[in-house]
Chain A
Amino acid sequence: MATTDSRQGPGKLTIGATAPDLIEFAAQAATVALLPTVNSSDGTPTLETPQPAPETTVAWALKVSAIQDFEDAAGFVNFLMDHALDELAFTWEPITGGLVYSGTLQIVPIEIGGDVGVQTVSDVELPVVGEPTRTPAAPLAASSKAKGA
């Protein structure tokens, strides 16, 4: 069977729905990933179910590493600072024209600044409110919307 080797880019990454609470910053983003955090604890054995399934929850975050653009008032760094703790929609298209991940993010600021005189790439993890949604690429778009990734 042939190997499927999915690699990002060129793609799109948008936070927000309408200007000025909207930013498209694919050009700045060096890393984009939806990160699941899995919390699991043992279930309580009962007489009826002596070996219960673990009690597990999944929380998602959008991890972004971006080239800092703090000198741009309308750039990514200042957008996150200005919208800290807002809840905004996001869409992430790893490959333009392909499938799309979307959902709602709680905005948190990213580190500003760093080493002097060199290009600075900083990381931020934006918590996803609820679960992200996965929309297949155009030919399959009409068929279904799957939850999770």
Chain B
Amino acid sequence: MSSAGVLRSIASRARAELLAELEASGIEATGDAGAFYPQPVGVLVGLPAYDGRTLGSRRFTIPVLVVSGDPLSSEAAVDAIYALADEVAGALSTPAYRPSSYRSSSSAEPLPAITLEVNVSTEEV
């Protein structure tokens, strides 16, 4: 993903800031769905929804998916995806998540996932 300095849209900047926040917390994440192969678990940052604005910033909700590359058929796999979801929730100060699924181009079946809806405010420049 491009660095925040060359991005033209505020939505892209919000997304880049969120990725940088995850990176700063030591969590590997990507916004590139085409190159996303969770093994055994991974974090994918989705596209921002524009919620509104303040006087000097815009507010977005960005979905963050914690995806398991393996079926959740063992206690260890379930524990691994929830452990990473907790880590992401803590890093992004997000109070809630829910089970979901993720359909990738490389997998015929949807992969099990945990989705977090993250609120991001980005200053207008």
Q: Is the CB of B95 within 8 A of A118?
A: yes
CB 8 Å contact bits of A5-36 with B (1 = contact, 0 = none): 00011111100000000000111111010000
- Smallest distance from the beta carbon of A123 to chain B beta carbons, Å? 14
Q: Is the CB of A9 within 8 A of B95?
A: no
- How many inter-chain residue pairs (CB < 8 Å) link A and B? 49
- Smallest distance from the beta carbon of B62 to chain A beta carbons, Å? 13
Q: Is the CB of B93 within 8 A of A27?
A: no
Q: Is the CB of A67 within 8 A of B95?
A: no
By the criterion of a CB under 8 Å from any partner CB, how many residues of chain B are at the interface? 14
B56, B93, B96: most-surrounded residue (chain A CB, <10 A): B56
A116 contacts chain B at the CB level, 8 A cutoff: yes
By the criterion of a CB under 8 Å from any partner CB, how many residues of chain A are at the interface? 20
**A9 CA to B124 CA, complexed, in Å:** 9
Q: B residues engaging A (CB < 8 A)?
A: 52-57, 93-96, 119, 121, 123-124
Would you list 14 pairs from A and B whose C-beta atoms are within 8 A, ordered by A residue? Answer: A8-B55, A9-B53, A10-B55, A11-B55, A25-B56, A27-B54, A27-B57, A28-B54, A29-B54, A29-B55, A94-B55, A116-B95, A117-B94, A118-B95
